[in-house]
């Protein structure tokens, strides 16, 4: 992801698209070098909640993000689990990096159809998503291109990736070479020993 929200930046950053003045006198800069972002002005909490409810699924680390929630949503879904995890209407806030890292931790191949994953594995995936996000938050995010933490610091999570962007390197768990695939249109990194490829079903 590119772009950032910066809280009281000391120096006005380049590519600021909007300044948000807070009631307490502080300012937040919305920085978007590639101009992919959009902004929406919503009046009041009910309209904000309605807007988000339409667009976002359960958020990890909240009581709604349960195995039952995932199991209900995944039932009958033929799309690969990676696409399922990236779909913000199902799970809010998981991007490409965290999807790869979580699937590796849960030992699930990104091409597995979402509807064919067992409840036990969905439970592992739920925990793995939260673990990967927690590790990213501790490292202040991953600075690959120009991401910055809200205080302007660069993140260091990229130094702790297990598989993401590690094509050709040994898997930290089993030393098998990490492969790069394209799943759901996104560069996807996988250890096919830890995360066995789904078997083709016989006709
Ligand atoms: Zn491995």
Structural domains of the chain, with CATH: 1-37 (no CATH), 58-162 (1.10.8.50)
pLDDT at 124 over 90: yes
Answer yes or no: is pLDDT of 202 > 60: no
- Categorize the per-residue pLDDT at 11 as very low, low, confident or very high, splitting at 50, 70 and 90: confident
- pLDDT exceeds 70 at position 192: yes
Specify whether the CB–CB gap between 174 and 194 falls below 8 A: yes
105 CA distance to ligand 1 middle (Å) = 10
Task: List beta partners, residue 182.
Answer: 187
Residue 141 alpha carbon to ligand 1 centre in Å: 24
Helix (H), strand (E) at residue 30: strand 27-31
- The predicted structure's pLDDT at residue 188: 96
Q: What is the DSSP letter of 157?
A: G
Contact 110, 190 (CB under 8 A): yes
In this prediction, residue 1 carries a pLDDT of 55
Q: pLDDT-derived band of residue 156, with 50, 70 and 90 as boundaries?
A: confident
- pLDDT of residue 94 exceeding 90, the answer is yes
Confidence of residue 145 (pLDDT cuts 50, 70, 90): low
- Most confident range, picked from 36-50, 80-94, 137-151: 80-94
Sign of CA pseudo-dihedral 118, 135, 96, 93: positive
**Which of 25-29, 138-142, 149-153 is the least confident region?**
149-153
C-alpha torsion angle, residues 101, 102, 108, 112 (rounded to 10): -90
Residue 46 phi/psi, 5-degree rounding, is -60, -40
Evaluate if residue 143 carries a pLDDT over 80.
no
Q: Is the pLDDT of residue 46 over 90?
A: yes
With pLDDT > 90 as the criterion, what percentage of the chain qualifies? 67
Question: pLDDT value at position 115?
Answer: 96
Report the C-alpha gap between 160 and 197 in whole angstroms. 24
Measure 168 CA to ligand 1 centroid, in angstroms. 12
| Residue 199: band (very low, low, confident or very high) from pLDDT cuts 50, 70, 90 | confident
Task: Please give the distance, rounded to the nearest whole angstrom, from the Cα atom of residue 92 to the centre of ligand 1.
Answer: 27
- For ligand 1, the distance from its centroid to the CA atom of residue 192, given in whole angstroms, is 7
**With the C-alpha atoms ordered 83, 86, 92, 98, is the resulting torsion angle positive or negative?**
positive
Whole-number Å distance, alpha carbon 1 to ligand 1 midpoint, is 26
Question: Whole-number mean pLDDT of the chain?
Answer: 90
Place 92 in a pLDDT band, splitting at 50, 70 and 90: very high
Q: How far is the CA of 174 from the centre of ligand 1 (A)?
A: 4
Q: Calculate mean pLDDT across residues 160-185.
A: 93
């Amino acid at each position: 992801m590119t772009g950032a929200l910066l809280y009281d930046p000391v120096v006005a950053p380049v590519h600021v698209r909007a300044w948000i003045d807070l009631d307490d006198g502080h300012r937040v800069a919305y920085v978007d070098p590639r101009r992919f972002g959009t902004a929406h002005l919503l009046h009041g909490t009910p309209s904000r909640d309605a807007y988000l409810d339409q667009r976002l699924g359960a958020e990890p680390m909240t009581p709604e993000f349960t195995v039952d929630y995932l199991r209900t949503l995944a039932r009958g879904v033929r799309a690969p689990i990676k696409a399922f995890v990236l779909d913000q209407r199902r799970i809010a806030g998981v991007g490409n990096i965290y999807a790869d890292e979580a699937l590796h931790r849960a030992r699930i191949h990104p091409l597995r159809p979402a509807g064919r994953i067992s409840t036990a594995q969905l439970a592992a995936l739920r925990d793995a998503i939260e673990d990967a996000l927690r590790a990213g938050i501790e490292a202040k995010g991953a600075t690959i291109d120009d991401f910055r933490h809200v205080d302007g610091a660069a993140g260091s999570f990229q130094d702790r990736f297990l598989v993401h962007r590690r094509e050709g390197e040994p898997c930290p768990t089993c030393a098998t070479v990490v492969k790069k695939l394209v799943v759901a249109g996104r560069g996807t990194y996988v250890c096919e020993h830890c995360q066995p490829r789904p078997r083709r079903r016989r006709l």
